[in-house]
Structure 1
Amino acid sequence: MPRTSETGGDGEETMVHSRFKLSAATCLAIAVLSTPVGAQTETASNLSGGRVKIGVLTDIAGPTAMANGKGSVIAAEMAAEDFGAGLDVEVVSADHQGKPDIGSQIAARWFDVEGVDAIADMQGSPIGFAVQNVAAQKSKIMLLSGSTSSDFNGKACSPLTVQWTVDTYNLAKGAAKAVIEAGGTKWYFLTVDQAYGHALTRDTSEQVKLNGGQVAGNSVFPPNTSDFASFLLTASNAGANVIAVAASSGDTVTALKQADEFGLSAKAKIVPLQSVLTDVHAVGLKIAHDAYEVSPFYWDRTPETRAWAERFYAKANIMPTSFHAGVYSSVAHYLKAVKATGTHEAPIVMKQMEKERVHDFFASDGYIRADRKMIHDMYLLRVKKPGENKGDWDLYNVVQTLPGESVNRPLSESSCPLVKK
């Protein structure tokens, strides 16, 4: 059974430990399920007892807890169960409380005292940038799912950090084209005053202009804002027919609800640039219907995504977001590389991760590029109208598949120091 312990208190994080040391029978069963026919089972002979420790640093109790949070921990544990055969995999987790300094302190202790080999999820770009500095100093791997600023594969790229799930350039390119083609040509941005919010507005503004649209203005608001009235009124007075919300779950949900209350949905397209499944579920189809979303994952897209999502639902009691799916995929790929190399030395493992393609329900043929972006297809989704859905979590229609290379910044335009020009 998983071993758990929790600590709390002012300024302290909540931490949960789960250990997966699999029996011989279980290892054999999982190996049969997860190893392609004809492939050789890799060993971890150079690992001390086959021990691997993965930390999930996320928002456990804050505004993005549904989008990331405990679901990210469950996803990492599922990856350990599925791909930990022959290894002693321990998953630990902590709540960074939305504070970069707390995130850095947790990471430093994990690396120096607790022997953590890699950190996954890293919800929130401000925390991601802070922890990346610690990880680089300690030569440890970071698997970003919830840190979305495109600077992670640009000017702030790092050799041992992979941005796995989504970035602000992905979101911007897909959303701008779709919304402008649907008639939304004059944009006003509501931008959360955090790194990913500014990056999302920057990247989307660039794409709006490239697609022939106009940027009418931008209002910056603090995280966890409860009253968007003045920002929404300013956007409406600017004559915008698109109000784009560059924020994460909590602020996005609040802005969408208040835009509907003020009747702005009838005057402009309200575009949540970084919404996820749980946001739309919280807002409801009556308010969110017909909104566009660009996402790397939707649980009801294929038989494979449905099968994994149903397993996840049985453990989490919610359907998975793209961040949850990305945590699973990244941890699974990491564990495969550890087994293949027989070590958890980060530079060696990272080379193996770059070498092997990603083939799972999340990415049919993904790969890690020189700028440390995992390239995979994205999907243009549109929220269903009330009555179109067949259940509480049946929320989207998949409008279009966006090929991976088409929605990522070309390497020729990259500012990542790792990219050879």
Structure 2
Amino acid sequence: MAETRLAAPEPDRLGCSWIGGTDLAAIRDQVGTPTFVYSEEQLRRNVTRIQKAAALAGLADRVDLYVPFFPNSNPHVLKPFQDMGVGLLLQMPGEYEITREFGFDSFIVSPGHVADGELEFWARTGCPTFLSSLGEIRAALEAGAPSISARIDSLDSGKPGIKLGELDQLVGLLGEYGRNLECFEVYCGSGNSRDEMIAMIETMFNIFTRYFPTARAMNFAGGHGFDYGSWDAEAKHFDWTSYFSVLGESSQRLGIPEHVRFMFEPARDVLADIGVLVLGIQREVLVNPVSSIVVTDGSRMLMPSAQLRDRRHHVIYLDHEMKELPAGVGRDALIRGRSILRHDYVLPGEYWAPAQLGVGDAMLVLDVGAYCATQHMEFLNVPPAAEVVVDLEGRAHLVTARGQDRDKWRNLLPVSEPLSA
């Protein structure tokens, strides 16, 4: 099969990302591959962008950020939030316990549908907890929970959340117990454009005015789009400046009391481009009558941002010195992981691959700071990857050791234990 000249990436793509200034050779030589590498500087830059936009709109004292923990559940990576006034959104008790151990102390909770015992756990913590059904809210009311907050599904989808048609019932239920709603969160889907998120502002304020005018906060949740297809470090991010401008204007026009706070749960916009996955190339490009394949030491991503939504993460190829391989002759190829399964691909679809790619070279998968390390690398007995954080001085720190070959059996008992009758 002859090589073909395709529309290859322009050279020096490394210069479009913070990763271009990182000593990748040193990280590879000391940690190996596959490895997730994160930038503290980029994390801080993303948070600051949102905070500055809120201040520009006169909302600095009303906007609270709570970044979901589950898209990147490494407390070392998220440590800068502690001095930036950013809290965490939690889902499970174990998340609360480990983040407390690492010094986090500002939380909201959106657990989905859970049993009474877990609701009691969250009530004891005092964390604002967004409950997803009338039954769960009744259980919390009967237990005398110190505050009541609700998650509302504005899409009437299968996602957890009280449906729009149940809001009158929710008002009545609260009235039975003489209670008010502390805060409500509205789920509006993921990956929304600026205009789609702006349209949700009116929905939020209408729910507040009609149903819960005594609420002390509104949680606009997440869903702010991130452009995985852009190479521009700024253009890929959500337009918070115009969004907050409309939010401030609408709040004044509709008479939303100034003491009401606005919460947000930005995940991809804060986390996506802080992370890069470094993969080692295992062989030259394999060419057969069916397909061309790049074999790496990675494994299936199993992440919503790529596999389920077919999002096209950018890739960059590096030679054995970790310098970018030039564009030129190459072919389209599938990126395969470490198994014999037919669909064990690191990313969906085919990607351009340089013909000179070979053993000892590397590939970078960009924008993997959200939903990637948390759902990657334990597929068919493959141990999880290492994780490295690059601090503000450019120094790399290992924060998660590479998994061991027997990690899949880490909870296997040496001898079976009979259960009592």
The two structures have a TM-score, normalised by structure 1, of 0.30
Task: Work out which of the two has the higher radius of gyration on C-alpha atoms and give 1 or 2.
Answer: 2
The two structures have a TM-score, normalised by structure 2, of 0.30
Higher relative contact order (CA 8 A, sep 6+): 2
Higher helix share: 1
